[in-house]
Structure 1
């Protein structure tokens, strides 16, 4: 009877090779080493996750009551369910299955590739004008350009771009890195940029298109006359006001909120000092008059433009990096250490302290309305998560360079990728087995396959930005209209792709 291998400090036992290997430090290990501390940590996490999934699948298969084959008949089964009043027609049931159906219909389409412009740097973030289709792509370079503007080939949707287009506009934003891009409902764009040290911080506002006129789109250039400088600070996030009549942007500037309001052709700025000194990493509008701010000390604070007062509403389990509004009562908050929760604002405030310390075990938090189990990110940037209330989907990046989809109704993972490829138990002959494996490996690794599910597709580089285009945010302009189908735009490495139905 084989006994379990003995654990030796500083060594890792490889079950496949049946040998002990010395654990190497991350900085001292040679390239390609399989036994570094980070690599062994990932192996243990994957093994533990695989074990949990196998145990859960085993419990489901043994404890689930299976329906009779007679009830699979469309006539007999549905009539019996209707007779007993068990026909699944609740709103949550329909919403959950609608989210799964929408996820299965998404197919991948490549939009632009910045390597054709001799850019050796990855795409950091992007934004698309919902009226003209002008795709703005930010690449953090050390050169004199870091924002590219791509116009679609035609005005008809779905928009297509010249994949290897070499003629695109370079919008000059000094030598800084673009930290946020926000397009408002009134057709204005806000670009914030800064250098890594924070010595130079610039915020620019420019007109992309005017929704009231029907003129075609033109190449975008940053307007230097509406640029505001804030040296010695850092800008992590920005968000446009959802009002269709007012041009207002809110910016998270270090530990303060900065409001930029456009009146005719003039812009006014107002700095709001928050009660806490923690950095603001996420901003979101709950209503056209209420702003939510997520902070590194785990607090979510609300600011009312009418009363000019601040209130602490939530306390997350860890630092907050993203806030998204689901509806007028529910919000999704993503934080560090794999914490992704949904909160219902109709519940009273709870678990709030004056000086939260999220890095300590004694830290308490507000009870969430819904928890998204399986969320894998320890750290998340402001653009790596988005939601689509119309389809009931939440999309985010993951450390495995795959897209994770969650249901906004249940919090469950949708179409999780298999940890272990399903292999047949036996093959007719030994010669067929390697051929089948090679064919299967070629199919999985082929990046041009369009039938790969969105959650199973492995990007060759880290996912840096995710943006849903929802129907409520896509108006009818320039005779284009919308396609009636939400889509998901993703950037990874030098490419920007669109998953659409």
Structure 2
């Protein structure tokens, strides 16, 4: 008599007894408590009650109750939930006003010279302000800035738009060639912690390579070359920013003594280059080949990398565990990835005019319609639910024009909430600047008509903070008319 189920009998929990269940024919016309119909109703109510109890218990376990308003836990919860998020003025009006002051006519930082090819990609040393650039397809050069020890420049009229050659601080010293690669350069990255320069190539009849050197200390053409195995192309590279600090939960190890970390997208695998305090470089295969090529990558935090693939998948790689996870899905091939204002938000640029802002904490998929007959999708031989590609829902969509180019660059400046994106040449627009918090386009920079030769795609786009003689503030640098243009406020 312990309440175990017996066929044909019902256990009454209150009376602690078994009662015979009366059939429907025997209970017809009588109001019997233990009839088959009443037992079914009672079981239905009990099932609903258990489901409600289980749901309330689950909510109680998953919900954090704010008990102490001064605790650190509540501070983290408020940041996560957005209780102390920036006001509408800072996220919308202030950002729009800041972008309104951007000059649409650039100042030429470096002009294209007849004896040099156009600049493909570039980077800048924030301390010495030396510019490193790839001219043409494979010539890596450096351009030093004029210092106080150099002879003074000639005086010019401030009303002139383009500075004369002698007045430009980057036109005083000649170009110094650092090296020449065996194929077209795919990326150029300056590592300010140790003053190293990393250049990667696509590869052609020669295998792709990673060139690492110290241009300020080494002689020209002196460096360390790595040729990855089973690699058809190196698509991108990203150095871990020096602004990232070591998390307090990471204990000091031998790996923590590395001074530089460089992530390289080698075909469908991930390579991680580390530099010790003695200057030697070490290469490790951080992630084995995936099903699709890795076209873009960027550091989100001290230990986390975001990887964008040709099939639209966005993966996160953790340097501590050495594992990766598919977290988001973009509908088109990914060309660029950039960290937004927080490690949980990511700007993704892809083909087919796609430019989105994703939140890693909300990887939900787009809602599917209940009526699949009237969806505007291409006809298939057999249409099933699995044929439709599941993509993630972005927080924001930005106006963008890029049909098929993987080289068009983007730049993010979280302090002002600005997103700059290079556009397709066919549109007549060179750069669009958008509000990172609202998705609204706040500035549009057009191409300028320049006689013969035409324009080239903008493969490098950077927000540069000025210091010292530059007067401070932030400026937007871009590949422009074969050289480097500066859009200032």
Q: Same fold, TM exceeding 0.5?
A: yes
The equivalent of 1:304 in structure 2 is 318
Q: Is 1:459–1:492's contact at 8 Å kept on the other side of the alignment? A: no
The equivalent of 1:370 in structure 2 is 396
Cα separation, 2, equivalents of 1:242 and 1:288: 8
Structural mapping, 1:385-400, within 5 Å: 385-399=410-424, 400=428
Deviation at 1:457, TM superposition (A): 5.0
The equivalent of 2:142 in structure 1 is 149
Cα separation, 2, equivalents of 1:385 and 1:270: 28
Structure 1 337/382 Cα, relative in aligned 2: closer, same or farther at 3 Å?
Answer: same
Q: Is 2:346–2:359's contact at 8 Å kept on the other side of the alignment? A: yes
Equivalent position SS for 2:402: coil
Does the alignment pair 1:228 with 2:226? yes
Structure 1 224/176 Cα, relative in aligned 2: closer, same or farther at 3 Å?
Answer: farther
Q: May I ask how many residue pairs the two structures share in their alignment?
A: 346
Equivalent position SS for 1:172: strand
Equivalent position SS for 1:153: coil
Structure 1 268/219 Cα, relative in aligned 2: closer, same or farther at 3 Å?
Answer: closer
Q: TM-score, normalised by structure 2?
A: 0.64
Please point out which of 329, 348, 359 is paired with 1:333.
348
Equivalent position SS for 2:285: strand
List gaps (5 residues or longer) in structure 2.
1-84, 150-166, 244-257, 368-376, 381-386
The equivalent of 1:343 in structure 2 is 358
The equivalent of 1:67 in structure 2 is none
Q: Which has the larger radius of gyration?
A: 2
Q: Is 1:298–1:319's contact at 8 Å kept on the other side of the alignment? A: yes
Please point out which of 455, 459, 462 is paired with 1:465.
459
The equivalent of 1:10 in structure 2 is none
Structural mapping, 1:67-466, within 5 Å: 91-107=87-103, 108-116=106-114, 118-119=115-116, 121-141=117-137, 146-154=139-147, 161-162=168-169, 167-194=174-201, 196-197=203-204, 199-207=206-214, 218=216, 224-230=222-228, 232-243=231-242, 246-264=259-277, 265-274=279-288, 276-326=290-340, 327-348=342-363, 350=365, 362-372=388-398, 374-382=399-407, 384-399=409-424, 400-416=428-444, 455-456=445-446, 458=448, 460=450, 461-466=455-460
Cα separation, 2, equivalents of 1:268 and 1:336: 34
Q: Is 1:248–1:259's contact at 8 Å kept on the other side of the alignment? A: yes
Deviation at 1:147, TM superposition (A): 1.5
Q: Is 1:281–1:382's contact at 8 Å kept on the other side of the alignment? A: no
Instruction: Point out which structure has higher relative CO (alpha carbons under 8 A, 6+ apart).
Output: 1
Structure 1 415/112 Cα, relative in aligned 2: closer, same or farther at 3 Å?
Answer: closer
Q: Is 2:317–2:323's contact at 8 Å kept on the other side of the alignment? A: yes
Cα separation, 2, equivalents of 1:163 and 1:481: 13
Q: Is 2:412–2:420's contact at 8 Å kept on the other side of the alignment? A: yes
Cα separation, 1, equivalents of 2:199 and 2:206: 14
Q: Is 1:468–1:488's contact at 8 Å kept on the other side of the alignment? A: yes
List gaps (5 residues or longer) in structure 1.
1-88, 209-217, 353-357, 417-454
Equivalent position SS for 1:496: strand
Deviation at 1:134, TM superposition (A): 0.5
Cα separation, 2, equivalents of 1:330 and 1:344: 5
Q: Is 1:465–1:491's contact at 8 Å kept on the other side of the alignment? A: yes
Cα separation, 1, equivalents of 2:172 and 2:397: 43
Write the deviation string for residues 300-340 of structure 1: whole angstroms up to 9, x where unpaired. Answer: 01111111111001000111111110112211011110111
Structure 1 206/198 Cα, relative in aligned 2: closer, same or farther at 3 Å?
Answer: same
Root-mean-square deviation (CA, aligned residues, Å) is 3.1
Deviation at 1:93, TM superposition (A): 2.9
Please point out which of 466, 485, 488 is paired with 1:497.
485
Write the deviation string for residues 142-178 of structure 1: whole angstroms up to 9, x where unpaired. Answer: xxx611211111379xxx8456567210112244322
Write the deviation string for residues 38-88 of structure 1: whole angstroms up to 9, x where unpaired. Answer: xxxxxxxxxxxxxxxxxxxxxxxxxxxxxxxxxxxxxxxxxxxxxxxxxxx
Cα separation, 2, equivalents of 1:125 and 1:254: 20
Cα separation, 2, equivalents of 1:486 and 1:280: 31
Equivalent position SS for 2:238: strand
